[in-house]
Amino acid sequence: MSSERIGLASYGVALIFLAISLILPAAQIIAWNEFPAALLVFLGVWMMVLAAIKLKYPQKYARSPFSTFGCGMLTTTVGSLWFLNIRGMPLVYSVAAIAALLGSLAIAAALKRG
């Protein structure tokens, strides 16, 4: 898959995620101040999907799938922590999210070396 096709697909997915993130507060499923956090979570998940696509279709001079997966995990975690902070969740949930991030990155690093 060429980088232009992946880029075009990413623009389309980003617009769909933007629409979904705008519909959620409009339907009163989440509050309006939670909209940016939800968008970050959605975009982070898409970056992790892009990492899987890059495994199948590697490109020269492009970011590695491991790097893309790490950025996706970081974006998803930041969005999740932001969402939990807005909801007033205790600090233990933030620690759990960070532990899940580090565990996922350790698994990805182990699979990269194996």
Number of domains in the chain: 1
Q: Is the pLDDT of residue 114 over 60?
A: no
Domain of residue 40 covers: 3-113
Q: What is the pLDDT of residues 1-21, one digit of tens each?
A: 667 788 888 899 999 999 999
Burial status of residue 1 (CB atoms within 10 A of its CB: 0-12, 13-18, 19 or more): exposed
From residue 63, how far is each of 9, 54, 76, 97 by CA, in Å? 17, 9, 18, 25
pLDDT digits (tens, 9 = 90+) for 67-91: 888 899 889 988 988 888 888 888 7
Residue 65: pLDDT over 90: no
- pLDDT mean across residues, the chain: 87
